[in-house]
């Protein structure tokens, strides 16, 4: 490697460096800088100004063929990626149509109104936000529940009404509780006043007066001081013979029977409580009779009768006769007590069928009075009233008559049909979900409840079962539909919210006779009771055959009662 050597400048460089510089002209002036048009600098834009230029207001300049905001942007997309899991990017939402821009701008305006006006109805805004969540792939697994929430989202007027009803119910409950407590305190006050005025309870008079005066300070009976005072008075009255005698009479009300029936009832109760003593006394009496009969000549029949009385057969016959007498006495008492009630209910049924007001009782009708006298003089009136009572009390009467008079065509058994006439339930549901007419029909079947009952699992199961029952009718589907209804019928406000189409499909799915439908009558009885509870006489769509137009269930019951009353009587 060659060693470095010192730099020696050339002669030309040395001459140039030693040459003197030229002197400046004394008249020379520096050149002026070129003038700029406008400001030399601009202030930075605020965040609000940037948003106003790039946000929803700029979308109003949307023109066809020039992008979303006139700058050539064809779409706005939101993508998502999980960096921790290293997942690929996923499209969340995309705005590439003018209506999407208008919708987003409308949502922003609605949010501004909601923030500025506390009385603003944000129901539509809430539905639009739920729709955005339904389009988000992150919420794909709960899309059905989000749709249910969106469909059942109440308006502000409905929410205000529910809150008002709850407030009214709370106030009414508080008022009822206050009235109940006041009534209880008044009753206690009167009871204590009667004990104070009783000279036999003079030893507890001071304590009773003290308790009575302090009760005005208590609004209810949950005060522990009240129970302590009652306990002290009770301990003091334990040594009072007059009070003990009253307590004994209260505990044993049949101690001194006032009539023959009460004495007989007391004897029956004593025999029931001590059966061994009563049987022993009867055996001793029969032994004495048998000894006396054996001592008398020619009294063989008496001996046989005594032996028969001691036999189990006579005891069974006696028990049966006694039970029959008790049943007859009970039935006669009930029939006599309910005659007025039956007359009122029959009159009410008649007025409901004829849709005419009940005539004034003071108005005299000779024919009606004569017919009433004949009915009252009928020796079989009690038997007829018993039949009418069974008609009014039997829940299966209207079901049986209604279904009997209604000619229902039994559906064919799917297992007996050829394979060419069968199809799968999945195929039926696909066909229904792609047909606008079927979609509208299934929407009419859906049960919509107000929150929080709209997300009840039983309600969701019932809606799914109704949809399946609409698409296919088999024994298994009928059974599933009934089970889901039995679970959901106890949800508050469900019976009032069931649509007419749902009532029809529930009723006629259980009314059809199938080999697996053994509980048909019981199911119809439950459905009819539920229909009556919401003010309906039967299913919304009455059968076309078997019952004349305009004849209701009340008319059937009234006609049956009329036939029973007028049987054997000439009008």
Output the tens digit of pLDDT for each of the chain's 571 residues: 456 667 777 788 777 777 776 667 767 666 665 555 555 566 666 655 655 555 555 545 544 445 555 556 778 888 888 888 888 888 888 888 888 888 888 999 999 988 898 888 888 888 888 888 888 888 888 888 888 888 888 888 888 888 888 888 888 878 877 777 777 777 777 777 888 888 887 777 788 888 777 776 665 566 777 777 778 877 877 778 877 777 776 655 444 444 544 554 455 445 544 545 555 555 665 566 566 555 544 444 555 665 666 666 766 666 666 556 555 544 554 544 455 555 555 555 555 444 444 444 445 567 777 777 777 777 777 777 777 777 766 655 544 444 444 444 455 666 677 766 677 777 777 788 888 888 888 888 888 887 767 778 888 888 888 888 888 777 778 888 888 898 888 888 888 889 989 998 888 888 877 666 677 777 888 888 888 888 887 788 766 443 433 344 555 566 667 777 777 666 5
Region label for 50, one of left (φ > 0), alpha (ψ between -120 and 50) or beta (otherwise) = alpha
Check whether residue 147 and residue 76 sit in a common domain. Answer: yes
Residues 266 and 246 in one domain: no
The reply to whether 421 and 455 lie within a common domain is: yes
**248, exposed or middle or buried, with CB in 10 Å at 0-12, 13-18, 19+?**
exposed
pTM, two decimals, is 0.32
Per the domain annotation, does 6 fall within a domain? no
429 found inside a domain: yes
pLDDT at position 354:
47
Q: What is the pLDDT of residue 263?
A: 54
Contact between residue 494 and residue 453 where contact means Cβ atoms under 8 Å apart: yes
Distance, in Å, from the CA atom of 439 to the CA atom of 433, rounded to the nearest integer, reads: 6
Res 250: pLDDT: 65
Domain check: are 514 and 436 in the same one? yes
Per the domain annotation, does 349 fall within a domain? no
pLDDT score of 149: 85
Which segments of 489-519 does DSSP mark as H helices, in order?
494-497, 500-511
1 part of a folded domain: no
pLDDT, position 44? 63
- HSE (CB half, 13 Å, CA atoms) of 134? 15
Q: Is there a domain that residue 246 lies in?
A: yes
Residue 237: predicted pLDDT: 78
Q: How confident is the model at residue 491, as a pLDDT?
A: 84
Residues 425 and 495 grouped into a single domain: yes
Q: 273 with 240, same domain? A: no
Give the domain range for residue 455: 408-542
Task: Work out the number of other CB atoms within 10 angstroms of the CB of residue 347.
Answer: 13
Residue 156: its pLDDT value, please?
Answer: 81
**In terms of DSSP H, where are the helices of 32-155?**
47-54, 98-116, 123-135, 143-151
Is residue 562 in a domain? Answer: no
Same domain, 440 and 513: yes
pLDDT of residue 398: 47
Q: 202 with 81, same domain?
A: no
Q: Are residues 441 and 518 in the same domain?
A: yes
Examine the domain organization and report whether 274 and 246 are in the same domain. no
Q: Identify the CA nearest to 521 among candidates 392, 414, 394.
A: 394
Q: Would you state the pLDDT for residue 261?
A: 46
Domains: count for the chain: 4
- 421 and 521, same domain (yes or no): yes
Residue 196 included in any domain: yes
Q: What is the pLDDT of residue 193?
A: 81
Which one of 269, 290, 310 terminates a domain? 310
Domain termination residue (choose one: 202, 231, 250): 250
List all residues 6 or more positions away from 465 whose beta carbon is below 8 Å from its beta carbon: 477, 480, 481, 484, 485
- Model pLDDT, residue 293: 53
Residue 337 lies in a domain: no
- 245 and 265 fall within a common domain: no
């Amino acid at each position: 490697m060659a060693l470095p050597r010192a730099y020696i400048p050339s002669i030309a460089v040395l001459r140039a460096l030693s040459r003197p510089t030229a002197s400046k002209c004394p008249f020379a002036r520096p050149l002026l800088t070129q003038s700029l048009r406008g400001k030399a600098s601009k202030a930075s834009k605020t965040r609000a100004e940037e948003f106003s230029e790039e946000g929803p207001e700029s979308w109003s300049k949307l023109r066809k063929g020039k992008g979303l905001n006139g700058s050539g942007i064809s779409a706005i997309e939101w993508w998502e990626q999980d960096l921790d899991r290293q997942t690929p990017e996923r499209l969340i939402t995309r705005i590439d149509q003018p209506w999407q821009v208008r919708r987003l701008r409308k949502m922003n305006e609605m949010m501004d109104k909601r923030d500025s006006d506390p009385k603003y109805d944000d129901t539509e805004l809430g539905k639009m936000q739920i729709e955005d969540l339904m389009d988000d792939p992150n919420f794909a697994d709960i899309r059905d529940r989000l749709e249910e929430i969106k469909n059942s989202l109440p308006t502000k007027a409905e929410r205000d009404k529910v809150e008002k009803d709850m407030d009214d119910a709370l106030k009414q409950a508080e008022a009822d509780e206050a009235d109940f407590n006041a009534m209880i305190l008044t009753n206690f006050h009167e009871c204590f006043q009667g004990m104070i005025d009783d000279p036999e309870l003079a030893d507890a008079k001071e304590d009773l007066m003290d308790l009575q005066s302090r009760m005005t300070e208590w609004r209810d009976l949950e005060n522990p001081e009240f129970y302590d005072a009652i306990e002290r008075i009770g301990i003091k009255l334990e040594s009072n013979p007059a009070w003990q005698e009253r307590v004994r009479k209260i505990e044993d009300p049949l101690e001194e029977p006032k009539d023959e029936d009460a004495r007989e009832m007391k004897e029956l109760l004593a025999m029931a409580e001590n059966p061994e003593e009563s049987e022993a006394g009867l055996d001793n009496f029969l032994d004495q009779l048998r000894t006396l009969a054996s001592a008398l000549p020619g009294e063989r029949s008496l001996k046989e009768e005594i032996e028969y009385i001691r036999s189990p057969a006579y005891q069974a016959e006696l028990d049966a006769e006694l039970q029959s007498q008790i049943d007859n006495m009970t039935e006669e008492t009930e029939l006599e007590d309910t005659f007025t009630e039956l007359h009122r209910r029959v009159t009410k049924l008649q007025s409901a069928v004829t849709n005419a007001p009940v005539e004034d009782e003071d108005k005299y009708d000779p024919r009606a009075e004569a017919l009433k006298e004949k009915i009252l003089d009928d020796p079989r009136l009690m038997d007829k009233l018993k039949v009418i009572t069974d008609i009014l009390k039997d829940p299966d009467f209207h079901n049986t008559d209604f279904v009997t008079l209604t000619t229902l065509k039994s559906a064919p058994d799917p297992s007996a049909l050829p394979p060419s006439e069968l199809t799968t339930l999945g195929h039926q549901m696909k066909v229904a979900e792609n047909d606008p007419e079927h979609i509208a029909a299934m929407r009419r079947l859906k049960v919509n409840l107000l929150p929080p009952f709209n997300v009840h699992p039983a309600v969701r199961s019932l809606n799914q079962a109704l949809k399946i029952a609409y698409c296919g009718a088999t024994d298994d589907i009928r059974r599933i539909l009934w089970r889901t209804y039995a679970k959901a019928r106890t949800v508050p406000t469900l019976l009032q919210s069931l649509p007419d189409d749902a009532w029809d499909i529930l009723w006629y799915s259980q009314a059809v006779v199938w080999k697996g439908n053994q509980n048909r009558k019981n199911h119809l009885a439950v459905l009819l009771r539920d229909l009556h509870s919401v003010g309906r006489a039967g299913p919304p769509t009455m059968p076309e055959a078997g019952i004349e137009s305009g004849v209701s269930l009340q008319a059937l019951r009234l006609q049956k009662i009329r036939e029973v009353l007028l049987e054997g009587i000439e009008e």
